[in-house]
């Protein structure tokens, strides 16, 4: 009887211990799931800034480059100069044309006034022709004025200025290079727009809200950059669908059984950067969003 009782007690103990092991196992699995699958953390983040491609508005040979690579520039500072000779000549030509048109207009006005004063000896038709000539020459003067202003504008645009304050990058431009209109010559990094963007899995978005505190860690750089969630991307491209809005939807018929969560960019505004840390657009970052007081159910999914 004692032996049977002892065996029974042992079975109960074994069962309870096994149940305890299963409970501990489930607890740890749940904790790991929350830590790695639910918490809004991503290693897929980047330091970003708006880049302004600097391109000339007029074509020509570069005669002067006033900046060197990675130089800090102010808004309005001259970055490079396109050879102004052709545009100076164009301005002189436009000024001469304007002067000529003005002289012709003055002469026409005087002639018209004389004709009007001698209306008893000058035919009405001649007077009318004179008035028409004055009107035409007034328009010609306006046209010449516009041409002069355009020539002046082109001349002004030979000096390419920084549209925003920031740092120039990728400057390999040298005097003698021929630039065409609209061809980017160098890049200007708009430093005030510096930010971090974390590409979060779409499954984690429910725990991210604008205003939430965030920590950013740059790859291989000690220190914790503090920031907050500024905004969440309003849309990403639908890869399963092609065609433009004016055509019927062209949806990919292949649907994979195993698929990955898409990633949504979340914009992190930088509040505080520890001393000694330099943010370079393009750097890799890990982003942790501290979601305040998220209620957790028994099961995290």
Residues that bind another protein (CB under 8 A): 10, 13-22, 24-25, 28-29, 31-32, 35-36, 39, 41, 43, 215, 217, 219-224, 286, 288
Smallest distance, Å, CB 301 to another protein?
A: 17
Residue among 71 and 215 whose Cβ is closer to another protein: 215
Smallest distance, Å, CB 15 to another protein?
A: 7
Residue among 36 and 257 whose Cβ is closer to another protein: 36
List Cβ neighbours of 74 (8 Å cut-off, separation of 6 or more).
Answer: 162, 165
With beta carbons less than 8 A apart as the criterion, state whether 91 and 152 touch.
Answer: yes
If residue 54 lies in a helix (H) or strand (E), which one and from where to where?
Answer: strand 41-54
Residue among 64 and 224 whose Cβ is closer to another protein: 224
- d(CA 2, CA 182) in angstroms, rounded, equals 97
Smallest distance, Å, CB 43 to another protein?
A: 5
- Residue tagged 């001259």 (tokens): 78
Smallest distance, Å, CB 23 to another protein?
A: 9
Smallest distance, Å, CB 10 to another protein?
A: 6
List Cβ neighbours of 76 (8 Å cut-off, separation of 6 or more).
Answer: 161, 162
**189 CA to centre of own chain:** 10
Residue among 16 and 139 whose Cβ is closer to another protein: 16
Residue among 19 and 153 whose Cβ is closer to another protein: 19
Smallest distance, Å, CB 242 to another protein?
A: 34
State residue 269 phi and psi, 5-degree precision.
Answer: -80, 135
Residue among 63 and 215 whose Cβ is closer to another protein: 215
With beta carbons less than 8 A apart as the criterion, state whether 116 and 101 touch.
Answer: no
With beta carbons less than 8 A apart as the criterion, state whether 188 and 114 touch.
Answer: no
Residue among 16 and 146 whose Cβ is closer to another protein: 16
Smallest distance, Å, CB 74 to another protein?
A: 34
Residue among 250 and 271 whose Cβ is closer to another protein: 271
With beta carbons less than 8 A apart as the criterion, state whether 75 and 58 touch.
Answer: no
Q: Which of 277, 221, 281, 285 is nearest to 70 (CA)?
A: 281
Smallest distance, Å, CB 226 to another protein?
A: 13
- Residue tagged 């309005």 (tokens): 76
Residue 129 CA: distances (Å) to CA of 15, 134, 261: 118, 9, 79
24: three-class secondary structure by DSSP: helix
């Amino acid at each position: 009887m004692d032996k049977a009782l002892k065996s029974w007690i042992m079975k109960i103990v074994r069962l309870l211990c096994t149940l305890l092991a299963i409970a501990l196992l489930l607890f740890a699995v749940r904790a790991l799931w929350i830590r790695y699958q639910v918490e809004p953390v991503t290693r897929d983040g980047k330091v970003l800034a708006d880049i302004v491609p600097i391109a000339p508005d007029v074509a020509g040979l570069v005669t002067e480059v006033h900046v060197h690579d990675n130089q800090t520039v102010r808004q309005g500072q001259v970055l490079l100069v396109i050879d102004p000779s052709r545009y100076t000549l164009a301005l002189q030509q436009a000024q001469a044309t304007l002067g000529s048109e003005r002289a012709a207009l003055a002469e026409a006005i005087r002639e018209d006034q004389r004709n009007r004063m001698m209306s008893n000896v000058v035919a009405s038709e001649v007077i009318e022709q004179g008035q028409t000539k004055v009107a035409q020459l007034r328009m010609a003067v306006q046209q010449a004025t516009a041409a002069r202003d355009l020539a002046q504008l082109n001349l002004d645009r030979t000096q390419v200025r920084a549209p925003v304050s920031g740092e120039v990058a990728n400057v390999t431009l040298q005097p003698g290079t021929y630039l065409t209109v609209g061809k980017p010559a160098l890049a200007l990094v708009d430093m005030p727009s510096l930010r971090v963007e974390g590409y979060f899995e779409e499954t984690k978005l429910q725990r991210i809200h604008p205003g939430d505190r965030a920590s950013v860690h740059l790859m291989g750089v000690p220190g914790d950059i503090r920031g907050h969630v500024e905004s969440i991307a309003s849309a990403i491209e639908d890869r399963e669908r092609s065609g433009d809005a004016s055509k019927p939807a062209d949806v990919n018929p292949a649907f994979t059984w195993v698929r990955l969560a898409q990633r949504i960019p979340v914009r992190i505004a930088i509040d505080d950067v520890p001393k000694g840390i330099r943010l370079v657009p393009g750097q890799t970052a890990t982003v942790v969003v501290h979601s305040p007081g998220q209620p957790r159910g028994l099961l995290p999914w």
